[in-house]
Structure 1
Amino acid sequence: MIEIHWILYYLLLGSVVGFMAGLLGIGGGAIMVPVLTTMFLIQGIPVENVVHLALGTSMASIVTTSISSLRAHHAKQGVIWDVVKKMSLGIILGTFLATFLASYLSSVYLAIFFAIFMAYVSIQMFLNKKPKPNRELAGTLGLSVAGSGIGTISALVAIGGGSLTVPYLIWQNVEIKKAIGTSAAIGLPIAIAGTLGYIINGWSLSVPENYTLGFVHLPAVLFISIASFITAPYGVKLVHILPVAMIKKIFSLLAIILSIKMLNSIL
């Protein structure tokens, strides 16, 4: 039986992730992966598997958030479904196949890659840099290739793809609100493909007594998902009240600190 204090920690983590997802329009990987890595290490998960488990668990937890976000943006006609359709095949293949790559990499290399990528995202967020739209929307092949690249990186750092998809679509002359809505829709196939991939690749390491299915920790997914589903709408409501620009800067610093903490724990 899972101890009650771990349930409370997962609920707290999910609450923060959901709120930030609603407020800033980001996936929870930047927070979940380093925090879950630390929590799993404390619970005795072997260091060679701990980052894989954190990535898979984070990816599975993003499914619920993605569905909620997708529905909200669709209701406001903020999703370009033709782009979603053209990018989805590449997204699914890139995400799914990247989980096989991740399973062969050590936790140290995954942690280093995660930290470097989060540093890049954090700097972009802190400086609030946006690409200049200077080209037309790519065709089916271009969008599919871009999708495979976005899916690959998303699987290796357990993000919904927003930090990559939104800038890419803006660069393709897609209006910012539709870029965010379309990115939210693309986050669902990323999360599903990534979850399946991490379950399959970690199947031989499943430990029923620890409630793990492949590289997915089921209690963590359950309680994080419940809490994030509840708190995400509050983040959305506070977008026009709280100083989002300042919160983005604070979040970017927090992401770097958590990434460094994860690296320190692994090394």
Structure 2
Amino acid sequence: MSYPDLLSFAAGLLVTGALSGVLAGLLGIGGGGIIVPALALALAAMGYGGDVGQHVAVATSLAIIIPIGLSSARAHDAKGALDRPTFRLWAPVIFVATLAGGISAGLFPGKVLQAVLGFMAFFIAANILLPFLERLMRRVHGSATAQRLCAAVIGYLCALMGTGGGALSVPTLAAFGLPIHTAVGTGAALGVPIALAGTLGFLISGWNAEGLPPLSLGYINLPALVLIGGVASLTAPFGARLAHRLPARTLKKVFAVFLVVVGVSMLWAAFG
């Protein structure tokens, strides 16, 4: 790759990191909805498309979410928007489920991972606008077993999607009765065990994979991890401050629009 191409690649990663950090703090989503498609596009331009590129994008996104999630969670915790009992209930289950998903993700073609992210984005956006999940969860509101089951499903899907889980955990936590700002803060904190487990899983499943980009450990690309993760961890607190200035209804609408954009881009990549 030529020097100008390398500069363009690095600049794209930095912009992706900045946007991902703001969205992570604003919506508690970990930024994976931006990182995965942007990084997959950049890798394809470098000649690492197809299944390998998609797996590297998903795995690296999860690794990047570790510093983003920590930064975002601290910012929300400072605002009193982290429900610690819920976090302690969800975190162990979500860690184990995400680890299983990361290890098994190498068995799925790249287009399957794109389709999963696309369909789930539409499902979550529909739930925000027509809260059918909330009506369902009211029946099991106080059930720790139901919450653990949701945590397991979310963890496994997050490993396949390369997201920090906020796109799934925030509306689910809200459906279980947490106020939206607390759901966002708790979802951001849950992104950390998701990211740790998913990173470990993809490190294992991709260790002997062929055709990986240079400077990769398993499916995790180190240059992308450093550039995107470093910038995103700096911009996440700004997004968290912005979240607490927005009304709950506005925050939900922003979340839904973002998910529709992600869903369209992923389904187009999978089937277009």
1:26 alignment partner, one of 13, 24, 29: 29
TM-score, normalised to structure 1, is 0.87
- Displacement of 1:248 in angstroms is 4.0
- Deviations 1:120-146, CA, capped at 9 Å, x for gaps: 234445x3747246243323x443332
| Residue number in structure 1 paired with 2:160 | 156
| Residue number in structure 2 paired with 1:145 | 149
1:49 alignment partner, one of 42, 48, 52: 52
- Displacement of 1:164 in angstroms is 2.0
Work out the number of aligned pairs and report it. Answer: 263
* Matched residue type, 1:138: S
* Matched residue type, 2:32: G
1:221 alignment partner, one of 200, 221, 225: 225
- Deviations 1:217-263, CA, capped at 9 Å, x for gaps: 11111111111122222323434379656644542343134214432
Equivalent-residue separation in structure 2 for 1:249 and 1:87 (angstroms): 24
| Residue number in structure 1 paired with 2:200 | 196
1:94 aligned onto 2:101: no
1:5 aligned onto 2:8: yes
- Displacement of 1:112 in angstroms is 1.9
Equivalent pair of 1:138/1:172 in contact (CA under 8 Å): no
Equivalent pair of 1:95/1:153 in contact (CA under 8 Å): yes
- Deviations 1:36-74, CA, capped at 9 Å, x for gaps: 111111111152312111100111111111101111222
* Matched residue type, 1:19: V
Equivalent pair of 1:53/1:216 in contact (CA under 8 Å): yes
- Displacement of 1:81 in angstroms is 2.0
Gaps of 5+ in 1: none
* Matched residue type, 1:9: G
2:236 alignment partner, one of 221, 232, 249: 232
Equivalent-residue separation in structure 1 for 2:197 and 2:42 (angstroms): 25
- Displacement of 1:174 in angstroms is 2.8
Q: Which moved more, 1:81-90 or 1:4-13?
A: 81-90
Equivalent pair of 1:10/1:220 in contact (CA under 8 Å): yes
Equivalent-residue separation in structure 2 for 1:83 and 1:260 (angstroms): 33
- Displacement of 1:206 in angstroms is 7.0
Equivalent pair of 2:134/2:176 in contact (CA under 8 Å): no
TM-score, normalised to structure 2, is 0.85
- Deviations 1:158-191, CA, capped at 9 Å, x for gaps: 1211122222222322333332222222111001
* Matched residue type, 1:4: L
Equivalent pair of 1:88/1:144 in contact (CA under 8 Å): no
Gaps of 5+ in 2: none
* Matched residue type, 1:59: L
1:210 alignment partner, one of 211, 214, 235: 214
Distance 1:143 1:236, change over 3 A: closer
Equivalent pair of 1:20/1:26 in contact (CA under 8 Å): yes
Equivalent-residue separation in structure 1 for 2:60 and 2:73 (angstroms): 20
| Residue number in structure 2 paired with 1:178 | 182
Equivalent-residue separation in structure 2 for 1:241 and 1:181 (angstroms): 14
Equivalent-residue separation in structure 1 for 2:223 and 2:57 (angstroms): 13
Equivalent-residue separation in structure 1 for 2:55 and 2:213 (angstroms): 18
1:255 aligned onto 2:262: yes
| Residue number in structure 2 paired with 1:69 | 72
Distance 1:152 1:249, change over 3 A: closer
Match runs of 1:77-156 below 5 Å: 77-125=80-128, 127=129, 129=131, 131-132=134-135, 134=138, 135-139=140-144, 141-156=145-160
Equivalent-residue separation in structure 2 for 1:217 and 1:47 (angstroms): 16
Structure 1 counterpart SS, 2:134: coil
